[in-house]
Amino acid sequence: MELWDVYDINRNKTNETMVRGEPFEKNNYHLVVHICVFNSNGEMLIQQRQPFKEGWPNMWDITVGGSAIKDDTSQSAAERELFEEIGLRVDLKNIRPHITINFNNGFDDVYLIEQEVDINELLLQYEEVQKVKWASKEEIFSMMESGEFIPYYHSLIQLFFDMRKQYGCHQTK
* Residue 161 pLDDT level (bands cut at 50, 70, 90): very high
pLDDT at 167: 61
- pLDDT, one tens digit per residue, over 24-77 is 999 999 999 999 999 999 999 999 999 999 899 999 999 999 999 999 999 999
Count of all residues that appear for the chain in the document: 173
Buried-exposed string 88-103: b where 16+ CB fall within 10 A, e elsewhere: bebebeebebbbeeee
Kindly report the three-state secondary structure assignment for every residue of 84-141. HHHCCCCCCCCCCCCEEEEECCEEEEEEEEECCCCHHHCCCCCCCEEEEEEECHHHHH
| C-alpha to C-alpha distance for 94 and 19, rounded to whole angstroms | 29
Q: Please, which pLDDT band fits residue 168 given cuts at 50, 70 and 90?
A: low
Contact 112, 100 (CB under 8 A): no
Burial label for 85, CB within 10 Å (0-12, 13-18, 19+), is buried
Domain ranges, residue 151:
3-20+28-171
Q: What is the pLDDT of residue 166?
A: 73
pLDDT digits (tens, 9 = 90+) for 70-129: 999 999 999 999 999 999 999 999 899 999 999 999 999 999 999 999 999 999 999 999
Looking at residues 128-154, what average pLDDT do you find? Answer: 97
Q: How many domains does the chain have?
A: 1
Q: Interhelix angle for 137-146 vs 154-163, to 10°?
A: 170
Task: Give the CATH number, domain containing residue 139.
Answer: 3.90.79.10
The Cα–Cα gap between 135 and 121 comes to: 17
DSSP element (H, E) containing 145? helix 137-146
Residue-level pLDDT at 8: 96
